[in-house]
Structures are given as C-alpha cells and as structure tokens.
Chain A
Amino acid sequence: MTTYIIRRVLLMIPTLLGITVVVFAISRFAPGEPVSFTGGIGGQIDTGQTDVTSARMKLYGLDKPIHIQYAQWLWRVVRLDFGDSIRHHRKVSELIKERLPVTLMLNVIAFLIIYAVSLPVGILAAVKHGRLFDRASSAVFLMLWSLPVMWVGQMLIGYFAGPTFKNWFPPAGLSSNYAEQLSFLPWLTDRLWHLVLPVLCLTYTGFAYLTKQVRASVLNNLQADYVRTARAKGLSEPAVIFKHVFRNSIIPLITIVATLLPAMLGGSVIIERIFSIPGMGLLAFEAITSRDYNVIMAVATIAGILNLAGLLLADIAYAVVDPRICFESTVEAL
C-alpha cells in the first residue's frame, strides 16, 4: 500500500511540472511586456525602449533567456514564494493562505450536500427504474444541470436578498460586520446564514451529474448474478439493496470526486464574484481585472495542484475501499 502511494506521488511529479510549464508559457507568450504596465488604476504604460524599461527588465530577471527565467520561477514556486501582489502590495503566499480555506470550506460543504442528496435519490431512481420517480428525478436534475449558475445566483440575490423583493438572506460576504463580537453559537448561525445561497448555487449542478452516476452504477449491479442469489436465498429487498448492491456500486463513485472538483473550482470563481466571498475565486477575478500577474500564476498553479491532490486522494480511497485492486498492475495500467 505504501509503495503504491509513493509510486503514485512520484508519477504526479511530471504532471505537476507540466502544469507549471503551461502556466509559465501562457504568461510569457502573451503579447505585451510585463514591465510595460505597472498595474493599478492610472498605472503608467511605458512602451519605449527607455533606460527605465531595461532597468525594470533586469530587476525582474526578464533579460535572461526564457528557460532560465522558468527555472528561477520554478525554484521560487517550490519554496512557495510566488512573489508580491501588485494590487495588494503583499506576499502572494500570504494572500493565498488567507483565501484558500474559504474556498475549500465552501467546496467541502457543497460536496457533502451533493453526496447526501444524490446517493439516496440515485438509489431510489435505480430501484424504481422506469417508473414515475425515476423519470421525474432525471427530468428535474437535467433541468437543474442546465441552469446557468450566474443567473441562479443573481436571481437568488435579487429575489431573496435584496430590498426589491424579499430580504431574507444577506446578499454578500461570509459573515456580518459585527460577527467578531459574537460568541461561538450566534457566530456559527450568522456564518451559516451567509452560506445558504452560495452553497445552494454550488451544489445544484452536481446533483444531476452524481445522481446519474449513482443510478447507472446501482442499475448495473442490480443485474448481477449475486443479486439474484441474494434474493433467492430469501433476503429482504432492503437487505439486498443496502448490504449487497449499495456497497458494490459505491466504489466507482469515489473517482467521481476527482471529476467534480475542477468544475467546482471553476464555478467558485463565478459564485464568489456574485456573492463577494473573499476566496480564491474572487482573488483570481480581481487579479485578472488588475493584471496582477504573480497572483494569476499562483492561483492557476495552486488550482492545478489541488486538482491533482483530489485525483490522488480518489485513487488512494479507491484502493482502500476495494481490496480487489492490485497495486502492482494499476501502475502499469496508468
């Protein structure tokens, strides 16, 4: 098991390097010199080949050949030093340390809710295959899947969190202004109150995808021989479903975490922007509007790393849950 994990991590290294190459390449092959724009509103645009430009090029190491620039950048990234943010005048790593937990919290809560809803619905849909519940749930979830998230977010704010219609929920942020003075329990309710709408937006698209997978997986298992055996020996239907079918059909669902994660990270840019939640997504959005290169590169790299970590976790969980997986041959199969 340990050797499997070590081997899996080692295989990730080239992929990780590849991600940094892609991110670096995008930033360097883009038109325009990084030094010609000093950032912020009213930033100076300096297009001439003046002494200032060349001095700045030297300062940022831009006069060196591209592979050396990459090596230098990579060496700093390895030490978790992403440079300074032009917009915030702070270290990028500090900013990310502040913002990352917010996004992770949002996504983890959303994940739990998606699984809590999709598992029972998917199983029930598979058991009632072809009947009303099955068809209705798949129709509703297909509809939810197609709802654009920015529209839903804006509608929710407009109708439930604004002065125009109902004013039930707070429209923005993670907690109220006075939250720091509250004791733990009121603080928690305040936080949860703020999370209702954004988490709702993050979850509903996942329902459709996961429910479909659960349903397909359960249906597949329902046709297996061991189900017939279980029924033949007189087990009750719930016992067949939950003790036999459910446990077997849950295994492929673990890897789905890995496919849901990137979509949710992307979606959190939109959601954090709509609800003004200070997470990675909003950081990325602000960095892009102000051309804060260091932050953009850091966020893209970290998003890639997070994604890879998700894949790794899914693979390990898969191996832990299903003892039939042979560790030696999986590496070959990769």
Chain B
Amino acid sequence: MRGAKNKKQKEQSHERKRVGLSYGELVWRRFTKSRLNLVCLIFVLFLFLLAVFAPFIANDKPFVIRIDGKLYFPLLRNLQPSDYCIFLAAVVVLWHAVGPPSCFRKKAGGLHRNTSGLGLSVAIVSVGAVLIFVFVPRRFDAVDYKEMVDSGKATGAIFAFIPYGYARTELASHRQPPSSRHWLGTDDVGADVLCRLIHGSRISLSIGFVAVGISVVIGILVGAILGYFGGWIDFIGMRFVEIMMAIPVFFLIITITAFFPRSFLNIMIIIGVTGWTSNARFIRAEFFKLRKQDFVQAAVSLGLPLRSILFRHILPNAVAPVLVNATFGISSAIFIEAALSFLGFGVAPPTPSWGQILSLGVSASGRFLWWLTLFPGLAIFFTVMAYNVVGEGLRDATDPRLSKAA
C-alpha cells in the first residue's frame, strides 16, 4: 500500500512538472492509464460504426446486381431518410471529434468557440433531418433479389455481409436455432437475429444519445437558473426537483407510456424528460460554487446579458460533472429502452430493438429459446458495461479528489 502511495505521489509530481499539459490532455492521460477504459472506449466506437453502417453490413438488397445486362444499385437506392439522417449526424460528430484541432488547443476563447460550435452542429443536424425527411423519397422495394439470382434472371449480384433484412418475415424458417445460414438463429417471424441485433444497435444508441441530450439540456437550463439566482427561486425549484425525484423513475416512465402513444420519438422524449433531475442538481451545485468568483463578477460588471454570463462564462467551467453523468445516463437510457421493449411498452415490432428480441426468448407455450435470450442480452450487457466503464474512467480522470477517495 505504501509502495502504491509513493508511486502515486511520484506520478503527481511528474504531472505537476509538465506545465504545458492542458486539461483535456490531463484527463486523457489519466483515462488511458487503465487498459480496460481504453478497451471499452474502443468498443463504444465500434458500436458507433456498427450503428452508422448497419444497412451496409446487414441488408437483403444487393450492392450491385445485373438484370438483363443493366447494372442496378438496389441497396443505395433503398436507403431510407432515417439512414441519411444517421449519416449526417455521424459526419457532424466526426467533424467535431477530429475537426479543426486549433479551436481545442487555443487557451483563451477556445471554450467559447467550442460550445457555440456544438450549438451549430445541433442546428445542422436538426435542420438537415427535417430537409431529408421532406425531400428524400421513402422507397419500398419488394423485389426478392435473391430469388432472381437463384432463378438465373440476374447475375453478378454482390450482397451485404449478412444478406437478410431486419423486417424479413419468413414463417417457414421461424424459431430456428443458430446454424450456418443464420448464425444467431431466427426469431418468431423468421427474421435473422444477427441482422436485427445490428440494426437494433441504431435504436439503442439513438435513444441513448437523444434522451440524454434532452435531459442534459433541461438539466443545464434548470440547474443554471436555480444555482445562479439562489434564494426563493432555488427553494421552489428544488422542491419541484425533489418531487420529480420522489417518484421512482421507471414507474413514472411506464405510467407515461401508458397514457401516451408508443413511438420511437415519444420514448426518447419520455426517458429524457424524466431523467434530468440529477443533471440539474450537478449543475446547480457547480453554479453555486462559481457564481461568486471573480470572472463572473467581471462579466456582470461588463454588463453582459444574462444568457452570456450563464452559458458562456459559467457553464464551460461547470460542465464536467454533467458530461460524466451523461455517460451513465446513456447506459441507463439504453437499459430503460430495453426494459420497456421487453415489457412490450417500447417501439413497435418491425423496428428492431434488443429488448424486443429478448422478450421473445420464452414463447407463448413456455418453451425457452436460448438463442433469443442469450444474444440480445449479451448485446445489452456489453453496451451498458462499456458505457459504465467509460463513465467511471471519466469520473476518476476529471475529478482527482474522487479517485483518491474511491
């Protein structure tokens, strides 16, 4: 134990010696000290890629097919508006992650541009999504290309790696255990489980991110106002937060799903709207600490508008605990979505969802179908665990006081 302490001290003095280390670099260094953190981060990135490229990995339409000597590209033609939305979001996220690195390195003003850039990207994604849904036509292609290839009508077809669609219904081959044709078996309507798992990752991740986005935005708005003003606004606001926290979240969520129509969007909103309280408390506590600091006084005396004081000056200094909390929020949102779908309150069946596949694991006659239980469960487990590990790592890395105590 003493050896470990010495080592830690040595590391700390080492950290102190290098003056040029930015906060981000420091966090990254502490975060990558554990190999498990890195593995889980890579797994999270892998899930991203899987979700973004799902239609290219598992699809019943071929990339290329030659019919009567003419080349067709059915897979690309059949990409839905939602696919384009995901591509757009992925490009924006990528631009943010690798993008112009100078804006991250700059000492002064860097954070401002960073936060406004975030707002810009959210705007791009939402406007882009609306435009895509208005202008990109929804196609429905019922041609069975595999049958065409088999009967010799078409040649030179290149299929995706897993040549099944997630909405495939083929009752002749339903509830089959894993085989060489269907690696993870088929579900109750004959859809390939592996394909549904891959497409289900999109539902999980998008619900996780959008729900957490909603809860973070609400939490920041409420927490900033309560923490900055204090006094009776804070008193009344905190009573309201207390009320929201007093109702068990999962109970609240299933109560709301009982009254409102069940759709993908509603579930995201419900999970987001019920999960903001912890974010609000974190932000409120940070604002309490920061509002009396010199830089805030300076901003006030400069006559800056309230919006600017709250979100440009205080928020960048207060956002770290919420970002860490958001990581856990994603894992819990993914879990809640799976639980809702498992109970039958989630998205409607043709839409692939991990929880929905899991709920098929025990058939109506009481037969236990292990492949419909094991694989979706593993998918949920590994995803939730990866986010939890990344969250723990981030918390330890951003808050050295905590990591020393725990």
Residues of B within 8 A of A131 (CB): 1
Query: Which of B110-118, B137-145, B256-264 faces chain A?
Result: B256-264
A148 touches B259 (CB 8 A): no
For chain A residues 113-146, which have a beta carbon within 8 Å of chain B? Answer: 129-131, 142-143, 145-146
For chain A residues 126-183, which have a beta carbon within 8 Å of chain B? Answer: 129-131, 142-143, 145-152, 154-155, 157-159, 162, 164-165
With A26-B259, A148-B339 already in contact, the answer to whether A158 and B248 are too (CB < 8 A) is: no
With A15-B243, A157-B368 already in contact, the answer to whether A267 and B374 are too (CB < 8 A) is: no
A291 touches B258 (CB 8 A): yes
A45 to chain B, nearest CB (A): 14
A20 to chain B, nearest CB (A): 10
B250 touches A288 (CB 8 A): no
A220 touches B405 (CB 8 A): yes
Residues of A within 8 A of B377 (CB): 148, 151-152, 154-155
A303 at the interface (CB under 8 A from B): yes
B251 at the interface (CB under 8 A from A): yes
Give the docked Cα–Cα distance between A266 and B335 (Å): 12
Residues of A within 8 A of B102 (CB): none
A17 to chain B, nearest CB (A): 9
Contact of A284 among B254, B355, B367, B405 (CB under 8 A): B254
Give the docked Cα–Cα distance between A288 and B260 (Å): 11
B242 at the interface (CB under 8 A from A): yes
A300 touches B370 (CB 8 A): no
Residues of A within 8 A of B335 (CB): 148
B295 to chain A, nearest CB (A): 28
For chain A residues 203-217, which have a beta carbon within 8 Å of chain B? Answer: 212, 215-216
Residues of B within 8 A of A220 (CB): 405
B388 at the interface (CB under 8 A from A): yes
A74 at the interface (CB under 8 A from B): no
A248 to chain B, nearest CB (A): 15
A303 touches B384 (CB 8 A): no
Contact of A22 among B247, B260, B342, B374 (CB under 8 A): B247
Residues of A within 8 A of B339 (CB): 148-150, 270
A308 at the interface (CB under 8 A from B): yes
B389 at the interface (CB under 8 A from A): yes
Contact of B1 among A130, A142, A212, A261 (CB under 8 A): A130
B242 touches A269 (CB 8 A): no
A154 touches B259 (CB 8 A): no
Contact of B247 among A14, A129, A263, A304 (CB under 8 A): A304
Task: Report B229-251 CB contacts with A as 1/0, cut-off 8 Å.
Answer: 00000000001101111111111
A26 touches B256 (CB 8 A): yes
A266 touches B248 (CB 8 A): yes
Give the secondary structure class of B's interface: helix
A265 at the interface (CB under 8 A from B): yes
* Number of A-B residue pairs at CB separation under 8 A: 154
Closest chain B residue, CB of each to CB of A267? B250
Closest chain B residue, CB of each to CB of A223? B405
Residues of A within 8 A of B239 (CB): 14-15, 18
A30 at the interface (CB under 8 A from B): yes
A199 at the interface (CB under 8 A from B): no
For chain A residues 11-54, which have a beta carbon within 8 Å of chain B? Answer: 14-15, 18-19, 21-23, 26-27, 30-31
A142 touches B366 (CB 8 A): no
- Count contacts on B: residues with CB < 8 A to the other chain: 53
B381 at the interface (CB under 8 A from A): yes
Closest chain A residue, CB of each to CB of B244? A22
Residues of A within 8 A of B385 (CB): 142-143, 146
B331 touches A303 (CB 8 A): no
B388 touches A307 (CB 8 A): no
Residues of B within 8 A of A157 (CB): 362, 368
Give the docked Cα–Cα distance between A284 and B331 (Å): 25
Residues of B within 8 A of A165 (CB): 368
B236 to chain A, nearest CB (A): 10
For chain B residues 245-282, which have a beta carbon within 8 Å of chain A? Answer: 245-252, 254-261
A142 touches B343 (CB 8 A): no
B44 to chain A, nearest CB (A): 13
A154 touches B373 (CB 8 A): yes
Closest chain B residue, CB of each to CB of A155? B373
B384 touches A265 (CB 8 A): no
B344 at the interface (CB under 8 A from A): yes
With A267-B250, A300-B255, A307-B246 already in contact, the answer to whether A150 and B368 are too (CB < 8 A) is: no
B343 touches A311 (CB 8 A): no
Residues of B within 8 A of A287 (CB): 258
With A154-B373, A216-B406 already in contact, the answer to whether A142 and B246 are too (CB < 8 A) is: no
A262 at the interface (CB under 8 A from B): yes
B246 touches A270 (CB 8 A): no
B239 to chain A, nearest CB (A): 6
With A130-B4, A154-B373, A219-B405 already in contact, the answer to whether A285 and B255 are too (CB < 8 A) is: no
B287 at the interface (CB under 8 A from A): no
Residues of B within 8 A of A164 (CB): 367-368, 370
With A18-B239, A142-B388, A146-B331 already in contact, the answer to whether A304 and B246 are too (CB < 8 A) is: yes
Contact of A265 among B248, B366, B367 (CB under 8 A): B248
B345 at the interface (CB under 8 A from A): yes
A299 at the interface (CB under 8 A from B): yes
Closest chain B residue, CB of each to CB of A297? B255
A154 touches B406 (CB 8 A): no
For chain B residues 135-171, which have a beta carbon within 8 Å of chain A? Answer: none
B394 at the interface (CB under 8 A from A): no
Contact of B249 among A27, A146, A266 (CB under 8 A): A266
List 29 A-B pairs, Cβ < 8 Å: A22-B247, A130-B1, A130-B4, A131-B1, A142-B392, A146-B331, A146-B388, A148-B380, A148-B381, A151-B358, A151-B373, A154-B362, A158-B370, A219-B406, A261-B248, A263-B250, A266-B248, A269-B250, A269-B254, A273-B343, A284-B251, A284-B255, A288-B255, A291-B258, A299-B251, A304-B247, A307-B247, A308-B246, A311-B246
| 7 residue pairs, one from A and one from B, having the closest CB atoms | A266-B250, A151-B377, A30-B259, A18-B243, A146-B385, A262-B248, A158-B368
Beyond contacts A18-B239, A19-B246, A21-B243: 14 other A-B pairs, Cβ-Cβ < 8 A, are A19-B247, A142-B385, A146-B381, A150-B359, A154-B362, A154-B373, A164-B370, A165-B368, A220-B405, A261-B248, A266-B248, A269-B250, A299-B251, A304-B247
Q: Residues of B with Cβ closer than 8 Å to A?
A: 1, 4, 239-240, 242-252, 254-261, 331, 335, 338-339, 342-345, 355, 358-359, 361-362, 366-368, 370, 373-374, 376-377, 380-381, 384-385, 388-389, 392, 405-406
